[in-house]
């Protein structure tokens, strides 16, 4: 830890991060690459000091369960670029007092290093056979041969059919959905990391030292204005849920949704009618607000009024800045997140949608279902464990536009018309002028609300565009 606390090599960000993970935070987030850096650093610090203190060899140490790990939300960009509260070109940030960060005992540090390295392990390593030598230890075996052919081109045909078949056969009744910003792009909300269009590629006007600083709690503490300017755009109310959200609601209506875990802060899941008890907003939401220092609650509507009129809401108790309860890098995740400890072992199908799986601890959730549980990734690119070649048995991946994939899946399941009807109802209730573009519906579906419901069959491949029916027909379920 002393290596970290001197903080020379990695700057004050590392000091900040280690302070958090060893001191105060019980469970908060970081990007996978920052965890990797930290675990390497902790391990090397331990080696240096361990040679003097004769620490126990690592294989004798009790493994720390992933679910109980202590991690800080922070960013790879921070790890690379130093203190988020100083401009990028500052050569050195303020130094930290040697006693700051409450260094913990050797054992705790080593457990932490182990824990971090577990989380930062590449997904290939994480899913390789158990006899493989742990990372960092020399092996007498020759390294396992990995297929050199990239998986991207090898999307198996009938992926959606296979999963739909399981659902139709009633083998999956406890479905977990894990989602990210990709499910809301069809509603007109950009995701975070898509090059060019993602939010992080378009924050120049906020003059933050690096994009993710806008969601960094220390940066916010110093200067809340960039976040508040952005918040004016992000506040829920300007966008409506799309077909993907309604598909998840349909899972619930069919009695199949165990829980949805979302990283999104746009509130579209609640807006489409997924009930609160079925939803875990792991990165918080705008629905409540509190002081970022003493956590005294502040009326959310009041906070919104302040922010919308370019004023800074201040805590009535300590005068600290109030912010919406979105989880920033360096903050703890909400209590509801811990339901995952019960939910994930219970799941019989995991659907992962529209996320880059870059942010921990959320990203590692997908590795906590039982090894026999099928996992379906619907995304533009392979992410997390789906980058593994070959895919784990029971892993299914459908790459491409999420709306198309979800729509195909709904058609195979025979749910498409139900979803269209649901959208019509909900959007009319909300007083929205239904347009073809907004919800992933075709013009014909918009013009004939509810049409075709009576002639619905189990496989709806006939009620859609030619292109769609081709794709569903080519992958008709075998059951
Ligand atoms: P990212 O932007 O990191 O990832 C979105 C993923 O969705 C990418 O893999 C995209 O390729 C994919 N995607 C986007 N649109 C799609 C579409 N129409 N069809 C198919 N795939 C699509 O977003 P998240 O993983 O949600 O923190 O990011 C996680 C967290 O990082 C966020 O919660 C956020 C950010 O820091 C906060 O909001 C505080």
Percentage, residues of the chain above pLDDT 70: 58
pLDDT attached to residue 79:
42
Computed over every residue of the chain, the mean pLDDT equals 74
- For the stretch 389-448, pLDDT in tens is 999 999 999 999 999 999 999 999 999 999 999 999 998 888 865 554 556 665 556 455
pLDDT attached to residue 444:
59
Catalytic member of 36, 283, 340, 416:
283
pLDDT attached to residue 429:
87
- For the stretch 296-346, pLDDT in tens is 999 999 999 999 999 999 999 999 999 999 999 999 999 999 999 999 999
Residue 69's nearest CA partner among 27, 108, 109, 128 is 27
Closest-lying ligand 1 atom to the alpha carbon of residue 212: 36
Instruction: Inform me whether the pLDDT recorded for 1 exceeds 70.
Output: no
- Calpha distance 55→106 (Å, rounded): 8
pLDDT attached to residue 431:
80
- The residues facing 69 across adjacent strands are none
Residue 459 Cα, ligand 1 centroid: separation in angstroms?
A: 31
Global model pTM greater than 0.75? no
CA 93 remoteness from chain centre: 30
Two tokens, residue 52: 């003097």
pLDDT attached to residue 430:
85
Lowest mean pLDDT among 74-88, 287-301, 307-321: 74-88
3-state SS, residue 231: helix
Strands 297-298 and 284-291, by their bridges, are antiparallel
Percentage, residues of the chain above pLDDT 90: 56
Tell me what the mean pLDDT of segment 249-255 comes to.
Answer: 98
- Calpha distance 381→397 (Å, rounded): 9
Tell me what the mean pLDDT of segment 62-85 comes to.
Answer: 40
Task: For residue 162, say if its preceding peptide bond is cis, omega within 30 degrees of 0.
Answer: no
> Is the CB–ligand 1 distance for residue 404 below 6 Å?
no
* Torsion-angle region of 82 (φ positive above 0: left; ψ -120 to 50: alpha; else: beta): left
> Is the CB–ligand 1 distance for residue 193 below 6 Å?
yes
- Calpha distance 435→441 (Å, rounded): 8
CB neighbourhood size of 177 (10 A): 28
Instruction: Inform me whether the pLDDT recorded for 459 exceeds 50.
Output: yes
> Is the CB–ligand 1 distance for residue 180 below 6 Å?
yes
3-state SS, residue 463: helix
- Calpha distance 242→439 (Å, rounded): 4
> Could you write out the three-class secondary structure of 177-190?
EEECHHHHHHHCCC
Angstrom CA distances, 26 to 5, 13, 198, 326, 334, stand at 20, 18, 30, 17, 11
Closest-lying ligand 1 atom to the alpha carbon of residue 180: 26
- For the stretch 60-70, pLDDT in tens is 334 333 333 33
pLDDT attached to residue 229:
95
Residue 189 Cα, ligand 1 centroid: separation in angstroms?
A: 10
Closest-lying ligand 1 atom to the alpha carbon of residue 191: 2
Residue 190 Cα, ligand 1 centroid: separation in angstroms?
A: 8
> Is the CB–ligand 1 distance for residue 358 below 6 Å?
yes
- For the stretch 10-36, pLDDT in tens is 333 443 444 444 443 445 667 666 766
Residue 447 Cα, ligand 1 centroid: separation in angstroms?
A: 32
Instruction: Inform me whether the pLDDT recorded for 349 exceeds 90.
Output: yes
Can you count the helices (H) and strands (E) in the chain? 17, 11
CB neighbourhood size of 295 (10 A): 13
pLDDT attached to residue 40:
72
pLDDT attached to residue 461:
47
pLDDT attached to residue 138:
39
Two tokens, residue 225: 């204005």
């Amino acid at each position: 830890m002393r290596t970290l606390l001197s903080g020379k090599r990695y700057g004050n960000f590392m000091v900040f991060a280690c302070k958090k993970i060893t001191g105060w935070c019980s469970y908060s987030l970081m990007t996978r690459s920052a965890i990797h850096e930290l675990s390497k650093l902790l391990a090397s610090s331990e080696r240096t000091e361990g040679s003097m203190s004769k620490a126990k060899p690592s294989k004798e140490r009790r493994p720390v369960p992933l679910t109980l790990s202590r991690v800080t939300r922070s960013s790879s960009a921070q790890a690379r670029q130093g203190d988020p509260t100083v401009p990028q070109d500052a050569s050195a940030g303020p130094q930290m007092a040697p006693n700051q960060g409450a260094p913990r005992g050797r054992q705790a540090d080593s457990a932490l290093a182990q824990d971090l390295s577990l989380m930062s392990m590449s997904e290939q390593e994480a899913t390789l056979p158990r006899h493989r030598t742990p990372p960092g230890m020399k092996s007498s075996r020759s390294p396992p041969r990995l297929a050199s052919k990239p998986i991207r081109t090898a999307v198996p045909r009938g992926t959606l059919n296979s999963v739909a078949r399981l659902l139709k056969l009633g083998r999956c009744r406890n479905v977990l959905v894990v989602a990210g910003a990709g499910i809301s792009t069809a509603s007109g909300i950009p995701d975070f990391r898509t090059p060019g269009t993602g939010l992080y590629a378009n924050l120049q006007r906020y003059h933050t030292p690096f994009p993710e600083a806008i969601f960094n709690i220390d940066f916010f503490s110093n200067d809340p204005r960039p976040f508040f300017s952005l918040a004016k755009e992000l506040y829920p109310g300007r966008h409506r849920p799309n077909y993907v959200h309604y598909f998840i609601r349909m899972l619930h209506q069919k009695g199949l949704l165990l829980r949805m875990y979302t990283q999104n802060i746009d509130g579209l899941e609640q807006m489409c009618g997924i009930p609160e008890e079925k939803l875990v907003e792991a990165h918080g939401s705008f629905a409540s607000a509190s002081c970022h220092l003493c956590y005294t609650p502040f009326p959310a509507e009041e906070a919104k009024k302040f922010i919308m009129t370019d004023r800074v809401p201040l805590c009535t108790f300590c005068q600290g800045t109030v912010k919406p309860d979105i989880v920033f890098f360096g903050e703890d995740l909400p209590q509801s997140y811990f339901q995952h400890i019960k939910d994930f072992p219970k799941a019989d199908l995991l659907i992962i949608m529209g996320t880059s799986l870059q942010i921990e601890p959320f990203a590692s959730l997908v590795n906590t279902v039982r090894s026999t549980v099928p996992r379906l990734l619907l995304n533009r690119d392979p992410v997390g464990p789906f980058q593994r070649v070959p895919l784990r048995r029971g892993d299914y991946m459908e790459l491409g536009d999420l709306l198309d994939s979800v729509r195909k899946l709904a058609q195979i399941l025979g749910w498409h018309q139900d979803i269209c009807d649901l959208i019509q109802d909900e959007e009319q209730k909300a007083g929205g002028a239904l347009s073809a573009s907004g919800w992933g519906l075709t013009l014909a579906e918009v013009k004939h609300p509810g049409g075709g419901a009576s002639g619905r069959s189990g496989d709806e491949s006939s009620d859609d565009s030619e292109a769609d029916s081709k794709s569903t027909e080519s992958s008709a379920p075998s059951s």
